[in-house]
Every structure is written in C-alpha cells, then in structure tokens.
Amino acid sequence: MSSGLDTLLKSGAKRKELTETATEIVETKLIPDYLEFKRQLTTARVGKAKRVLDPLSKVLEINSSPWAPKFWYDLVRALYLGSSGAVENRKDDLTNKALAFNYIKKIEERQTRLPES
C-alpha cells in the first residue's frame, strides 16, 4: 500500500488524489484480505476445538471395564494420540499465518470490549 502512495507523494500529488488512492487500496485490497483472514480464523478456531474434542471422544469410546488391562491400554493410547499432535499444533501456531490470525483476533476482541460512542 505504501509504495503506491510514496510514488504519488514524491510526484507531488494533491491531498485529494492521495486520499482517493488510499481509499481505493483499502477498499480493494485490505478489506477483502481482512475478510478472508476472518473466514480462515473461524475455520482455525473450529480446527482447534476438534483437536481437543477428538481425544476426549476416543476416551469415551473405550468399551471395557476399568479394571481390565485393555481399558488402561485404550486410555493411554487415546491420551497419547491426543497429546502427540500437540507438538505439531504448536509448530503450526508459530507460523506467520497463525501469528497474523492471532493479531487480528486480538484486535477484534479489543473492539468488542470497547464501549461504543
């Protein structure tokens, strides 16, 4: 965004032209990108809930009595499989895309907390 405005500014463009160009950039590039980020953020939230609920559902699927060795084997297996993805999930959380999602999420949370004037 700034490169186009810098070029106009260096060429001596008027304030009105700079404002129109900035508005056009915001409306055609930034807002659509922001809306796409919001859609992806919603999908990411659903994905995180699924990663939490999947191991829980595996524990609930155990079909043997607690005093049977098979119960404990199935329990450890369900919990281990649930936690083995935690390292991979942490790697995903540190990508630029995930950090951008978290940044947008924090901005939106602050906006909902601010009183309207």
Q: What is the per-residue pLDDT across 19-70, written as a single tens digit (0 to 9) for each?
A: 888 888 888 887 788 788 778 777 766 666 666 677 777 777 777 788 888 8
Give the Cα separation of 33 and 27 in Å (integer).
10
- Give residue 79's pLDDT: 75
Residue 95's pLDDT band, with cuts at 50, 70 and 90, is confident
Q: Say if CB 30 and CB 1 are below 8 A apart.
A: yes
DSSP secondary structure letter of residue 30: I
Instruction: With H, G, I as helix, E, B as strand and everything else as coil, classify residue 2.
Output: helix
Number of domains in the chain: 1
Specify the length of the chain in residues: 117
d(CA 45, CA 91) in angstroms, rounded, equals: 16
Q: Is 71 within 8 Å of 65 (Cβ atoms)?
A: yes
Note down the domain range covering 77.
2-113
Q: What pTM was estimated for this model as a whole?
A: 0.44
3-state helix, strand, coil in the chain (%, to 5): 85, 0, 15
